[in-house]
A and B are shown apart, each in its own frame.
Chain A
Amino acid sequence: MEPIRRHEGLVYPLNRSNIDTDQIIPKQFLKRIERQGFGQFLFYHWRFDDNGEPRKDFSLNEPRFEGSSILVAGENFGCGSSREHAPWSLQDYGFRVIIASSFADIFYNNCSKNGILPIQLTEAEVQQLMKNAEQTGYRLTADLETQKVYDSTGFEADFQITSYMREMLLNGWDEISVTLTLEDKIQKFEETHS
């Protein structure tokens, strides 16, 4: 997993709440057996019409958001299914940081296993960012080390993250290798609990 310490990038605001994983990546794209290549299907039915042409009325298709890497969304982002294809598609599309006023549990966890930094801010802060991002070319910096999000014009917000997840993302750790250092404890548990 690619480590993430500080990320600076173009912001894409998507002002909707309860964006579910069926919207992030519809089920017809879950049949692939690979981890890569899901970015093209991100928000598929919002981005493309029935003929596969980009929809003009969906903002992610606007040239000014091309190359964005920080997504800002409303509350309960990523609710619904456990499909890790959702973070895979966001990451493959180019998003490294997702900011929302709240996240669904499984999605939040899945992000952290894929080098995506999920940041929970207050609803007021999120709405401020939505407003700021109306200006073309609005950029933010997310700093995991100091747990701060800021822009060049004075916006600044702190965020919370568990120290475990923070370490994992900062170091790009493979969690299984970490756990396997405790293999003797797992074995002991099995011996005493069977």
Chain B
Amino acid sequence: MDNAQPKTIVEKIWDEHIVHQETGKPDLLYIDLHLIHEVTSPQAFEGLRMKNRKLRRPDLTFATMDHNVPTIARHFISDPVSRKQMETLYDNCQEFGVPLADINHPDQGIVHVIGPELGLTQPGKTIVCGDSHTSTHGAFGALAFGIGTSEVEHVLATQSIWQNTPKTMNVKVNGRLSPSVTAKDLILAIIGKFGVRFGTGYVLEYTGEAIRDLTMDERMTICNMSIEAGARAGLISPDETTIEFLKGRRHVPDGEAFDEAASRWKSLATDPGAVFDAEVEIDAEEVEPQVTWGTNPGMCLPVSGSVPDPEAAESISEKAEIERALEYMGLEANQPVSSIEIQHVFIGSCTNSRLSDLERAVRVIEGKKVKDGVRALVVPGSQTVKKEAEARGIDKLFIEAGFEWRDAGCSMCLAMNDDIVPPGERCASTSNRNFEGRQGNGARTHLVAPEMAAAAAVEGRFVDVRNFSSTPV
């Protein structure tokens, strides 16, 4: 009878991973893949050591270094505390037998870029990482979510985690995106429309024609920012696009085993008629290129718009919030977005640092130059992305235009290494968070798509990429 009941992909994955169930308690779920990086793991390994515990499944654990790593002259890490954190990860991986793509490894990169790249990320898997943007892996139809360090330790020791059954929300994107409007614009518009809390307590499933049209890279951009809507996880049911992407990847089975896996993966997709706990809808056609003006990702506008006026706010608390954000961002009420001048451009982060992101950005600036006084950085998401881009000559085009071409890492997304935006200066950034101080103390971040960032680098201010590009995109 159970088979007759239509189910969402979340329910299917959930049911397959229950180790233990008891009334009044969360479920104990098995974890198929545990990703690790240097910042949120040292205390977890230390906890294991203190209690004399073993790492249960080193073979289901995979580590890399990304948050702290220098993206230039990477063999000399000047900050002794960063160096110590990386050495600690290296030692922990040695001691507990965890595979590691360290700073010298050709596979090194941002944890959410390399998981899919290596084929570690697969449909139907439960994936966790001590990092909130683990939601990225949901693009493959995996149930992937960020956890804290205590939970990292718990997964290391038990390969499982206690979780309350999540509620599901259908985020339905009708119609198709207009040309030159990207997945980044879509997810910013979704968060702008429904707010930074609408996903709290839910797993979001993105559905609809516009989502089906997206490439895997674009789907990752969407799922990546689910956490910015308050959701711990966001996912997309697997289809042919998913399967095509995975074929031939290192950790994906091949031959007959691949065909078997592929049909299993496809069967995970949400059944027609499955019931969600909630649903929201947006029309893709109405989405324009977006720019954030404030200090959270929900504070965003179409590039043709103007910064909000606190006097027009609907409540006292909203008014206070707008005023605070305007003050921090150094903006005037009603100022057109196109008048905002920037001094920095960052193309990178787990949201927008894959090969296709760099390709699309470079097309916008080909034959043009970065404006005087603007510092522009391209930081590929992984060393593999870097290598492939170089093989296509993309690095040269960026460098000729006046961009800096770096090694892979999180870099200016959170400015834990030396890539920092100075106080009071403004950055057009393809990352996912515009919180106060995120890119440096006092730094002002505007989140945009790679094309928009590239165009801003040339003009020194925000311009509508749809009227900008001379080469068709």
Per CB-CB distance, the 10 closest pairs between chain A and chain B, nearest first, are A113-B150, A33-B42, A110-B148, A84-B148, A84-B149, A82-B146, A31-B81, A22-B435, A82-B132, A179-B158
Given A20-B435, A76-B230: A179 touches B160 (CB 8 Å cut-off) = yes
Closest to B197 in A: A76
B158 and A82 form a contact (CB under 8 A): no
Q: Given that A76-B196, A113-B150, A186-B158 are known contacts, is A31 also in contact with B68, CB under 8 Å in the complex?
A: yes
Segment from A2-10, A99-107, A151-159 that makes contact with B: A99-107
With contacts A80-B435, A185-B28 known, what are 6 further pairs, Cβ within 8 A? A22-B435, A30-B416, A33-B43, A110-B148, A176-B158, A190-B159
> When the two chains form their complex, are residues A186 and B19 in contact, meaning their CB atoms are under 8 A apart?
yes
Q: A74's contact among B153, B227, B296, B317, by CB below 8 Å, is which? A: B317
Bound Cα distance from A180 to B9, whole angstroms: 29
Q: When the two chains form their complex, are residues B162 and A179 in contact, meaning their CB atoms are under 8 A apart?
A: yes
A185 and B40 contact, CB distance less than 8 A:
no
Cβ-neighbour of A105 out of B42, B232, B442 (below 8 A): B232
Q: In the complex, which residues of chain B have a beta carbon less than 8 angstroms from the beta carbon of A102?
A: 197, 200
For A, the interface residue count at a CB cutoff of 8 angstroms equals 49
What 0/1 readout, one digit per residue, does chain A (18-54) give for beta carbons within 8 Å of chain B? 1010110011101111110000000001000010000
User: Which among B25, B84, B146 is the interface contact of A106 at CB below 8 angstroms?
Assistant: B146
Separation of A86 and B10 alpha carbons in the complex (Å): 29
The interface residues of chain A lying within 8 Å CB-to-CB of B232 are 105-106
In the complex, A37→B44 CA distance in Å? 16
A79 x B196 contact (CB < 8 A): yes
In the bound assembly, the distance between CA atoms of A32 and B79 in angstroms comes to 12
Q: Which chain B residues numbered 40 to 90 have a C-beta less than 8 Å away from chain A?
A: 40, 42-43, 46, 51, 53, 56, 67-68, 79, 81-82, 84-85, 88
Q: Are B414 and A163 in contact (CB under 8 A)?
A: no
Partner of A84, one of B19, B150, B201, B423: B150
Contacts of B39 in A (CB 8 A): 30-31, 83
* B interface, over-half SS: loop
Count of chain B residues near A, Cβ 8 A = 63
Given contacts A22-B438, A104-B200, A176-B51, contact A164 B82 (CB under 8 A): no
B231 to chain A, nearest CB (A): 8
Residues of B close to A110: CB separation below 8 A: 148-151
A176 and B148: CB pair below 8 A? no
Partner of A27, one of B26, B151, B416, B442: B416
Interface string of A52-81 (1 = CB under 8 A from B): 000000000000000000000011100111
B147 to chain A, nearest CB (A): 6
Report how far A34 CA is from B442 CA in the complex, Å: 27
Inter-chain contact B230/A104, CB cutoff 8 Å: yes
Question: Which residues of B have CB within 8 Å of A82?
Answer: 40, 130-132, 146-148
Q: Smallest CB–CB gap between B356 and chain A, Å?
A: 26
| In the complex, B335 has a CB within 8 A of chain A | no
In the bound complex, do residue B150 and residue A182 qualify as a contact, i.e. CB atoms below 8 Å apart?
A: no
25 A-B pairs with C-beta separation under 8 A: A26-B441, A27-B414, A27-B415, A28-B416, A33-B42, A34-B46, A35-B46, A45-B441, A50-B423, A79-B196, A80-B227, A82-B148, A83-B39, A83-B40, A84-B43, A102-B200, A104-B200, A110-B149, A110-B151, A176-B153, A179-B160, A180-B158, A182-B19, A185-B28, A186-B28
A42 nearest CB across to chain B (Å) = 14
**Bound Cα distance from A7 to B162, whole angstroms:** 26
A162, B39: Cα distance in complex, Å: 30
Give the Cβ gap from B201 to chain A, nearest Cβ, in Å. 7
Is residue B437 contacting chain A, with contact meaning CB distance below 8 A? Answer: yes
How far is B88's CA from A34's CA once the two chains are assembled, in angstroms? 11
Residue B247 lies at the interface, judged by CB distance under 8 Å to chain A: no
Of B162, B201, B230, B437, which is within 8 A of A22 by CB?
B437
A172 to chain B, nearest CB (A): 13
Whether the Cβ atoms of A34 and B437 lie closer than 8 Å is no
0/1 string, B311-342, CB within 8 A of A gives 1: 00000010001001000000000000000000
Flag whether B164 is at the interface (Cβ < 8 A).
yes
With a cutoff of 8 Å between Cβ atoms, the chain A residues found around residue B131 in the complex are 81-82
Give the Cβ gap from B433 to chain A, nearest Cβ, in Å. Answer: 7
Q: Is the CB of B441 within 8 A of A17?
A: no
Q: Which residues of A contact B324 (CB under 8 A)?
A: 16
B275 lies within 8 A of chain A by Cβ: no
Smallest CB–CB gap between A176 and chain B, Å? Answer: 5
Q: Of A79, A180, A182, which contacts B230 at CB under 8 A?
A: A79
> CA separation between A106 and B152, bound complex, in Å?
12
Q: Which residue of B lies closest to A110 (CB)?
A: B148
Closest chain A residue to B231, Cβ basis:
A105
A180 in contact with B157 (CB, 8 Å): yes
Q: Is the CB of A109 within 8 A of B151?
A: yes
Q: Given A27-B414, A45-B437, A180-B157, A186–B147 Cβ distance below 8 Å?
A: no
Residues of A within 8 Å of B296, CB to CB, are 18, 20, 79
